[in-house]
Homo-oligomer: A and B are copies of this chain.
């Protein structure tokens, strides 16, 4: 059994490789060649903290994964990051623990961002003229950072509730290759951007159907439980194509769960789309609703573990 720290894990991350592995995993998932357990949630109040536990496997594969990821939102007051967690890889044949990845939430943040990058790669209206980011937290930044692997567009408009955080985001050296402007009003995002990513923990809708222009693509990644919502149900009424990471999960929680007549909507799973990807029509409005699935954790954990083993070959 091997244990790796966050520092070691950071050195083993290869974004294009992880994108490929997550795409493969999503296809397995939509083909129902996976076993994914019902997720477990814990929610603490004093101080506020969420814990998500996801587990799963590809059938007849080597490993199964258990992933624990938490967000404790008062942590920055203690000079601690909000995100934390780890990933565990076990043998699917004997139950033996094979690897502990002490990623402190890094890999969960990353795989969520890469699912967003995959959505943009296949569904946005390329070439993208302007990227709009709604949100200024860790995940908003991860989304923007990883879009550089799937589009040449570097024009960005950011909106966040907290102007100071939005300004800090725009000045972050990590984004020195981007040209970032700040939106004063959230409406400027749908008015000016053809790729919009929402990555907030909002409990009320931020985007509405009547704001959307033809050719717009939206990826919503913030709403990952029962209480959260970023997209008004009118966004889904306006969409020509709706893609979700998991039909079963997105009908339970996330943005799409607020829509009443799901059956009559043009919906498919991302993995099913990836199996036979089609080029989008320029004038369409497309929406991708992501809630996060264990298959993404599994694929990232497996790929990172494989790299770590070759990097730290001699170590015990």
A221 to B154, CA, bound (A): 60
The residue on B at minimum CB distance from A56 is: B42
A52 to B100, CA, bound (A): 18
Which has the most chain B C-beta neighbours within 10 Å: A40, A56, A80, A83? A40
Copies of this chain in its oligomeric complex: 2
Q: Which residues of B contact A57 (CB under 8 A)?
A: 42, 44
- Interface contact A41-B37, CB-CB below 8 Å: yes
Q: Among the listed stretches A87-95, A114-122, A253-261, which one makes contact with chain B, having 4 or more residues with CB under 8 Å of it?
A: A87-95
Q: Among the listed stretches A71-79, A194-202, A268-276, A301-309, which one makes contact with chain B, having 4 or more residues with CB under 8 Å of it?
A: A71-79
- Interface contact B51-A53, CB-CB below 8 Å: no
Cβ of A231 within 8 Å of any chain B Cβ, yes or no, is no
The residue on B at minimum CB distance from A50 is: B95
A36 to B124, CA, bound (A): 40
Q: Which residues of B contact A71 (CB under 8 A)?
A: 95
Q: Among the listed stretches A60-68, A166-174, A222-230, A234-242, which one makes contact with chain B, having 4 or more residues with CB under 8 Å of it?
A: A60-68
- Interface contact A78-B53, CB-CB below 8 Å: no
Cβ of A313 within 8 Å of any chain B Cβ, yes or no, is no
- Interface contact A68-B66, CB-CB below 8 Å: yes
- Interface contact B53-A55, CB-CB below 8 Å: yes
- Interface contact B44-A35, CB-CB below 8 Å: yes
Cβ of A43 within 8 Å of any chain B Cβ, yes or no, is yes
Cβ of A17 within 8 Å of any chain B Cβ, yes or no, is no
Q: Which residues of B contact A66 (CB under 8 A)?
A: 53, 66, 68
Whole-angstrom distance between the Cβ of A253 and the nearest chain B Cβ: 13
Cβ of A20 within 8 Å of any chain B Cβ, yes or no, is no
Q: Which residues of B contact A70 (CB under 8 A)?
A: 90, 95
Q: Which residues of B contact A44 (CB under 8 A)?
A: 35, 57, 64, 92
Query: Do A60 and B43 contact each other (CB < 8 Å), given the known contacts A80-B94, A84-B95, A93-B72?
Result: no
Cβ of A278 within 8 Å of any chain B Cβ, yes or no, is no
- Interface contact B97-A78, CB-CB below 8 Å: no
Q: Which residues of B contact A84 (CB under 8 A)?
A: 90, 94-97
Cβ of A38 within 8 Å of any chain B Cβ, yes or no, is yes
Q: Which residues of B contact A53 (CB under 8 A)?
A: 37, 40, 53, 55, 66
Cross-interface CB contact of A94 among B1, B41, B72, cutoff 8 Å: B72
The residue on B at minimum CB distance from A93 is: B47
Cross-interface CB contact of A40 among B38, B83, B100, cutoff 8 Å: B38
Cβ of A102 within 8 Å of any chain B Cβ, yes or no, is yes
A14 to B156, CA, bound (A): 60
Given contacts A37-B41, A42-B55, A44-B64, could you give 9 more A-B pairs where the C-beta distance is less than 8 Å? Answer: A38-B40, A40-B55, A42-B56, A49-B94, A53-B55, A66-B68, A80-B94, A80-B96, A84-B94
